Amino acid sequence: MRKPFVAGNWKMNMDSQTGVDLAKAIADGSADLAGTDVTVAVIPPFVYLQAVGQAVSSSGVALGAQDIYFEEKGAFTGEISPAMLKDVGCTYVLCGHSERRHVLGESDEVVNKKVLASLAGGLLPILCVGELLEERDAGKTEQVVEQQVRAGLANLGAEKASAVTVAYEPVWAIGTGRTATREQAQEVHAFIRKLLAEMYDENLAAEIRILYGGSVKPDNAKELMSEPDVDGSLVGGASLKPDAFLQIIQAGV
Ligand code: PGA
């Protein structure tokens, strides 16, 4: 059975104090969940990883990074390597978040290199995929998602594929308050799982967690996560408020 997974992507928000306070509130608030079967991760900006990592270190809350660079070291000004993320205690790393693809121009090829470098560096990648509104309106959702999943996981053998989490985040639902309906989410999640079965096999596809992201809030989290192929959520805005994030975690249990 796939263990539910709720991750909070803080994006470019918080400062050192409010970040640590938020992390502590999440660590404390999720302490009652110890032993329950849910993975919780916080994903702060790079500069707060260490402080936030310390704040959650004695809890079951995992630490993730919002991005990674695929080279091991060297003259790559401004970039952060897999080993650096491991060094500050990261377990997870987002690869190909839609803001990186669409605001910062990241290609499928770069996203794939990041997925492979994460795994090689002992990190667990969360491959983010999702269509733009015009792509959905043009009936191209499956085509876009298939391309992003196939390209994102290119050259990744079956032995490592189970370490990947996929996050389906329709771009039109991110930060807009316009969530996909549970049916829309389930439809794409089932499509992704079928695709993974084609690329690997049924057993592996049944193991890989597929999270939904895009305006997940306490009042819609439960219905989304109760769909059979929705294994958790990647939460942006609502992960910045401890009560809201804790309610979403609770909804995933
Ligand atoms: P949102 O962001 O919850 O604010 O829509 C989700 C995400 O981008 O991961």
Any idea what the CATH number is for the domain that residue 219 is in?
A: 3.20.20.70
Q: Give pLDDT tens digits for 57-92.
A: 999 999 999 999 999 999 999 999 999 999 999 999
Q: Give pLDDT tens digits for 17-39.
A: 999 999 999 999 988 776 678 99
Cα separation, 43 vs 142, in Å, equals 28
Cα separation, 87 vs 8, in Å, equals 21
Q: Is 109 helix (H, G, I), strand (E, B) or coil?
A: helix
Is 97 a known active-site residue?
yes
Cα separation, 112 vs 95, in Å, equals 8
Overall average pLDDT of the 208-225 stretch? 97
Residue 243 CA, ligand 1 centroid: distance in Å = 17
Q: What are phi and psi of 118, to 5 degrees?
A: -60, -50
Mean per-residue pLDDT over the chain, rounded: 96
Cα separation, 5 vs 233, in Å, equals 7
Overall average pLDDT of the 231-237 stretch? 97
- 232 beta partners: 5
Share of the chain above pLDDT 70, in %: 99
Amino acid (one-letter) located at 6: V
Q: What are phi and psi of 205, to 5 degrees?
A: -60, -35
The b-or-e profile of 84-120 (16+ CB within 10 A means b, else e) is bbbebebbbbbbbbbbbbeeeebebebbbbbbbbbbe
Closest atom of ligand 1 to CA, residue 173: 5
The active-site residue out of 106, 146, 169, 227 is 169
Report the relative pairing of strands 232-235 and 124-129 from DSSP bridges. Answer: unpaired
Amino acid (one-letter) located at 55: A
Q: What is the pLDDT of residue 34?
A: 61
Cα separation, 223 vs 226, in Å, equals 5
Q: What is the pLDDT of residue 45?
A: 98
Give the range of the structural domain holding residue 235, as residue numbers without chain letter. 5-251
pLDDT at residue 9 greater than cutoff 90: yes
Residue nearest (by alpha carbon) to ligand 1 atom 9: 236
Residue 237 CA, ligand 1 centroid: distance in Å = 6
Asked if residue 118 lies in contact with residue 94, where contact means CB atoms within 8 angstroms, the answer is: no
Domain count, the chain: 1
Closest atom of ligand 1 to CA, residue 175: 5
pLDDT at residue 129 greater than cutoff 80: yes
* DSSP assignment letter at 97: -
Q: Give pLDDT tens digits for 131-179.
A: 999 999 999 999 999 999 999 999 999 999 999 999 999 999 998 888 8
Residue whose token pair is 């090689």: 120
Report angle CA 122, 166, 37 to the nearest 5 degrees: 80
Closest atom of ligand 1 to CA, residue 176: 5
Cα torsion 229, 238, 86, 120: sign: positive
Report field, pTM of the whole predicted structure over 0.95: yes
